[in-house]
Amino acid sequence: MKRVWLVRLAAVLALYFALQGGEFSTIDLFRQRQRLQQLSQVADSLRRDVDSLRALRRAIEIDPAVQERIAREDFGMVREGELLFRFLDPDSLGRRRR
């Protein structure tokens, strides 16, 4: 009877070591798979960002309409004979109306 229990205990310990022992346990492998999925999603998102930035760069380099829009909006440039008026929201100035 004692021998049967020792064999069962040895089998249980061997099974436990097979699943959890060694350099990486089964739980570690599941965690690594989950982390790989997360990193793949991040990489896909970054690829989309890079693609859209490349498209924007190309548009800035070759599209005169985009170049003009940037010159007007970001640098306040105007064509000869034009006047530029900017209307600011009073709240954007940091003052509160009473």
User: Can you give the pLDDT at residue 32?
Assistant: 92
Does the global pTM surpass 0.75? Answer: no
pLDDT band at 70; cut points 50, 70, 90 = very high
Give the angle subtended at the CA of 76 by the CAs of 73 and 79, to the nearest 5°.
105
Between the two ends of the chain, the Cα-to-Cα distance in Å is 91
For 39-49, write each residue's pLDDT tens digit: 999 999 999 99
Which token pair is 27? 């739980």
